[in-house]
């Protein structure tokens, strides 16, 4: 009986590709579910210079905001590795948040998809810490997820 319950509870995670993530140090809220390239266990394998698609579902805004700005941070042993977000993806209201969602009201629930084309990283074969988040027009952190990624050649 317990094995059946365990199996039933794990199947949706495997089907949906739910990625285990951590809260960012900035304390921003987490989406209800996250899927990063179908990763279901950390570290997530990320192919160097290949697209990264991350879906955050059921994000609850802690503030009213007219805009949402996307950001990505990549760290190796505490040192920041350059990983600029393409200019066309910085405005999350224009690229990533469902059209018509912005402006966002406090308590509003929305989804966000980051469809990053990928880029050549100066390091491969290592595990890095990645943060992906959205910031409100007043600088408040709306949401942020942290996860470990192994950069593959």
pLDDT digits (tens, 9 = 90+) for 41-75: 999 999 999 999 999 999 999 999 999 999 999 99
pLDDT digits (tens, 9 = 90+) for 102-141: 999 999 999 999 999 998 888 899 999 999 999 999 999 9
Residue entry with tokens 């509003």: 108
**φ and ψ at residue 2, rounded to 5 degrees:** -65, -35
Query: From CA 153, how far away is CA 147, in angstroms rounded?
Result: 19
Domains and CATH numbers, the chain: 2-152 (2.60.40.770)
Provide DSSP, 5-74.
Answer: HHHHHHHHHHHHTPPP-EE-TT-PBPPSEEEETT--SSSEEEETTS-EEEEEEEEE-SS-BS-EEEEEEE
Say what the pTM is. 0.85
3 state DSSP class of 126: coil
User: Does the pLDDT at position 14 exceed 80?
Assistant: no
- Please report the pLDDT score of residue 119 as a whole number: 86
């Amino acid at each position: 009986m317990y094995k059946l319950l365990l199996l039933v509870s794990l199947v949706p995670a495997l089907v949906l590709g739910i990625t285990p993530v951590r809260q960012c140090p900035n304390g921003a809220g987490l989406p209800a579910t996250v899927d990063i390239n179908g990763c279901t266990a950390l570290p997530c394998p990320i192919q160097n210079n290949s697209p990264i698609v991350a879906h955050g579902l059921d994000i609850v805004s802690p503030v009213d905001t007219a805009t949402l700005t996307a950001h990505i941070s990549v760290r190796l042993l505490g040192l920041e590795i350059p990983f600029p977000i393409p200019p066309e993806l910085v405005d999350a209201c224009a690229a990533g948040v469902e059209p018509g969602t912005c402006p966002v009201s406090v308590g509003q629930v929305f989804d966000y998809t980051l469809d990053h084309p990928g880029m050549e990283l100066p390091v491969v074969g290592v595990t890095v810490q990645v943060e992906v988040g959205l910031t409100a027009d007043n600088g408040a952190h709306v949401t942020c997820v942290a996860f470990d990624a192994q950069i593959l050649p």
